[in-house]
Chain A
Amino acid sequence: MAAPKTWLAFAEARDGALRQVSFEALGAARAAAADGDAIVAALIGSGVAAHADALAARGAARVYVVDRPALAVYHPEAYLAAARSIVQAVQPAGVFLGHTAAGRDLAPQLAAALRCGAVTDVTAVEPGGGEGAPPVFARPLYAGKAVERRTAAEPFVVTVRPNNVRAPDPVDGAGPADVVAIEPEGAALRAIVKDVVKKTSGKIDLSEAKVVVSGGRGVKSADGFAPLQALADALGGAVGASRGACDAGYCDYALQIGQTGKVVTPELYIACGISGAIQHLAGMSGSRVIVAINKDPEAPIFKVADYGIVGDLFDVVPLLTEAFRAR
């Protein structure tokens, strides 16, 4: 029987709430662990200690916290110093983070500092067995045109793609978290974050959205995204775009879904006026249910769609919004 190990999941808060991917990181740690191993969580930020109980309710045996006003905004050097101090205290076999803007930045830094391997953008975890068999991590290559399975020597760092790994259910009546405040090592802060221009306040993040309504060249203008946003709002989803729409200047590149751009795997993907170039299909074909709305019945998008409507998105989308609002 191997000695029990400790697995560490970093949680992340946004707009005063824990992100769902934080719980999914805990789920990934649990999936990688063997019976008898310990799952612990960590929080870095300002005012984040308040979230410790929610992590305990999802199975974190202990919550390590670095909580100070200077960490209100993600800072690569300050967060690395905090993360290193937590890892030093925990000595985990594996570290799990969300594959978010912060996680994508922190994970490679931490892995380099630890001189260890990292497996990023993980979509599934196969548990490590007895006899010391390591956990196996699945991740997409070529934006989903292939899937690889990878193992890593311990300790390792993993980032978990939102919406793919199951989060542990909250346990009713879980006691208050066992919180350990960590004093981070000092760090030379050379970069200065001068300003954060919030463009997405109150909006649902594209990579975490359960529903994505996406527009292509068929939206014809920046204003053409308005009916798509209305549909996304009705469904509690986010708006995305194809490269064609971004290149045409109808929307910001931050919305682009595809082999360049973001890869999304929502429960429901509604493609409006998108023909379906192979690069775009690579970025969204992992979605659970795909709906395509396009005037051209020959559009390649219909080859991957579960449901297709041949028609003008400007007729169909508002009707859909009405139909969903009416439910």
Chain B
Amino acid sequence: MNIVVLVKQTFDTEERIVLTDGVVSEDGAKFVINPYDEYAVEQGILMRDAAGGGKVTVLSVGPARVAEALRTALAMGADEAVLIDDPRIGNDEHAVSIALAAALGGAGGAGAPTLGGAPVDVLLGGNFSVDNGAGQVAVRLAALLGVPHVASVTALEASGGAARAERDAEGDVEVVEVPLPALFTAQQGLNEPRYPSLPGIMKAKKKPFATLTLDDLGLSPDDVAPKTTRVGLALPPARAAGRLLAGDPAAQAAELARLLRDEAKVL
């Protein structure tokens, strides 16, 4: 089974956000694989192994530092990595998904997706990224490639050219069957991502790692110009610590009910 996993490198979720000259400072920041993409990488490895063979390729768009995230995925057990690194790719979901679609054989639904000449059976990605939080790129890519998708899956198995997924829809569970090739986005609960092992880390250094530019993809800068523009970035107003109530539990409960009604006017 030939599997492609979309990976984004994000800030560690424990990082505090600091703005310098209107942009998020990366100074000394720790980067990780987007946590939802980790589930996708793990699922790719599980599905390859369940199929008794095939290949998991991790694919990303971003600057050179993203290689570290891809190496981590290789150390977990992915087989190959492809990084699309070109500063001419616009910084929005339209531009990134167009670049990914080109890497997978073009946009417009002309035939099944391929990577490196081989047909792709399963595309996996995270439900959303914990930095930008847009949740657009993977679903856009499915639409651009003309393959069906199931978003926010909490269970997934594939065999005989089809897949069965369970999808989280605001707490309800939808059971969806879909023919392959298809794209799935991973939701929490799908699996338990493994840690890279030391032998895995050693092996990762020798695994194929390709870096592509717009020229390799046959795209012009116009093709990947963004359709949206950031016009401002700010930190939210800090919350001041409030008031600790006093007294026995019953008195505190009564006081809180009163404060929420009369002072906060929230009830």
Residues of A participating in the B interface, judged by any CB pair closer than 8 Å: 73-74, 76-77, 80, 100-102, 104-105, 107-109, 111-113, 115-121, 136, 139-153, 156, 190-200, 203, 205-207, 235, 246, 252-256, 259-261, 263, 267-268, 278-279, 282, 285-286, 288-291, 297, 302-312, 315-316, 319-320, 322-324, 327
Contact of B256 among A206, A259, A309 (CB under 8 A): A309
Question: Does any Cβ of A come within 8 Å of B65's Cβ?
Answer: no
Question: Does any Cβ of A come within 8 Å of B253's Cβ?
Answer: yes
Q: Which residues of B contact A307 (CB under 8 A)?
A: 242-243, 245, 256, 259-260, 264
Task: Give B144's nearest chain A residue, CB to CB.
Answer: A112
Query: In the complex, are the beta carbons of B253 and A319 less than 8 A apart?
Result: yes
Residues of B participating in the A interface, judged by any CB pair closer than 8 Å: 11, 13-14, 16-17, 19, 24, 35-36, 92-94, 97, 130-137, 139-144, 148-152, 154, 164, 168-179, 182, 187-189, 226-236, 239, 241-245, 249-250, 252-254, 256-257, 259-261, 264, 266-267
Query: In the complex, are the beta carbons of B178 and A190 less than 8 A apart?
Result: yes
Q: Which residues of A contact B144 (CB under 8 A)?
A: 112
Query: In the complex, are the beta carbons of A104 and B13 less than 8 A apart?
Result: no
Q: Which residues of A contact B151 (CB under 8 A)?
A: 76, 104-105
Contact of A305 among B150, B241, B249 (CB under 8 A): B241
Query: Assuming A205-B170, A305-B241, A308-B242, is B130 touching A80 (CB within 8 A)?
Result: no
Q: Which residues of B contact A268 (CB under 8 A)?
A: 260, 264, 266-267
Query: In the complex, are the beta carbons of A200 and B227 less than 8 A apart?
Result: no
User: Complex Cα distance A77/B151, Å?
Assistant: 12
Closest 10 CB pairs of A and B: A117-B227, A112-B143, A319-B253, A149-B232, A306-B242, A323-B257, A117-B228, A108-B139, A200-B171, A112-B140
Query: In the complex, are the beta carbons of B16 and A278 less than 8 A apart?
Result: yes
Q: Taking chain B's interface residues, is the majority helix, strand, or loop, or is none over half, making it mixed?
A: mixed
User: Complex Cα distance A147/B170, Å?
Assistant: 24
Query: In the complex, are the beta carbons of B176 and A156 less than 8 A apart?
Result: no
Q: Which residue, of A142, A278, A302, A316, has the highest number of chain B Cβ atoms within 10 A?
A: A142
Q: Tell me, rounded to whole Å, the shortest Cβ–Cβ distance linking A322 to chain B.
A: 7
Query: In the complex, are the beta carbons of B178 and A192 less than 8 A apart?
Result: yes
Q: Tell me, rounded to whole Å, the shortest Cβ–Cβ distance linking B139 to chain A.
A: 4
User: Complex Cα distance A74/B137, Å?
Assistant: 20
Q: Tell me, rounded to whole Å, the shortest Cβ–Cβ distance linking A310 to chain B.
A: 6
Q: List 13 A-B contacts (CB under 8 A).
A: A111-B136, A113-B143, A115-B227, A141-B233, A145-B235, A147-B233, A156-B228, A194-B177, A197-B174, A199-B171, A235-B267, A246-B188, A308-B245
Contact of B132 among A76, A105, A141, A282 (CB under 8 A): A141
Q: Tell me, rounded to whole Å, the shortest Cβ–Cβ distance linking B228 to chain A.
A: 4
User: Complex Cα distance A324/B253, Å?
Assistant: 9
Query: Assuming A117-B92, A259-B13, is B178 touching A149 (CB within 8 A)?
Result: no
User: Complex Cα distance A128/B172, Å?
Assistant: 38
Query: In the complex, are the beta carbons of B143 and A191 less than 8 A apart?
Result: no
Q: Which residues of A contact B260 (CB under 8 A)?
A: 268, 289, 291, 307
Q: Tell me, rounded to whole Å, the shortest Cβ–Cβ distance linking A1 to chain B.
A: 24
Query: In the complex, are the beta carbons of A322 and B253 less than 8 A apart?
Result: yes
User: Complex Cα distance A203/B170, Å?
Assistant: 11
